[in-house]
Structure formats: structure tokens, C-alpha cells
Amino acid sequence: MTDLSNVISFTDDINVVFEALSEWCYRHKKDPNSLEGCRAASTLFDLFQDGCDTKDGLLSAMDRSEIAQQVQQALPMG
């Protein structure tokens, strides 16, 4: 691939993450520049790198991740 092709592909790929972040922020009433928004962006990029390549797939994986965190916080360690 040429450098131009790589940039075009990267831009197309990254749009999916930004669309998912925008939707997530809207649903949770968070600003994308807030700590929560930045944390969500980081998680969405990780999920994208792990193979979630659609907005809906990213949001579903994010929901599962949030549920797992809530359960982990609710259960005492030990």
C-alpha cells in the first residue's frame, strides 16, 4: 500500500471509533474532553484494535466492559 492509501484507510477506520465515542458520550451525557470521555476513547481504541470494527460492535463491547467493571466494583475482594 502507498502512504496515501494507508492514510485513507486509517481515516476510514478511525471514523468508526469517533462515531462510537460520539454515541457513547451522548448516551452517558459526558463531554468527550472529560476524564470519562477520554477513558471511553481509550477503551474504544483498544476494542477497535482487538477487532471490533463497527460502531455497534464497539458500543456493545463497551457496554459489556462497563457491566464487568460494575460487577467487579460491587463484589468485595478476598
All structural domains of the chain with their residue ranges: 3-70
Give the residue-averaged pLDDT of 60-72: 80
Give the residue-averaged pLDDT of 47-61: 93
- What's the chain's Rg over C-alpha atoms? 15
Percent residues over pLDDT 90 in the chain: 54
Q: What is the identity of the amino acid at 23?
A: E
The continuous run of DSSP H or E covering 25 comes out as helix 3-28
If you ran DSSP here, which 8-state letter would residue 52 be given?
A: -
Kindly report, residue by residue over 20-48, the tens digit of the pLDDT: 999 999 999 999 999 999 999 999 999 99
Nearest to 22 by CA among 58, 66, 50, 61: 58
Within 8 A by CB and 6+ apart from 54, the residues are 16
**Higher-confidence position of 10 and 23:** 23
Please tell me the predicted confidence (pLDDT) of residue 8: 46
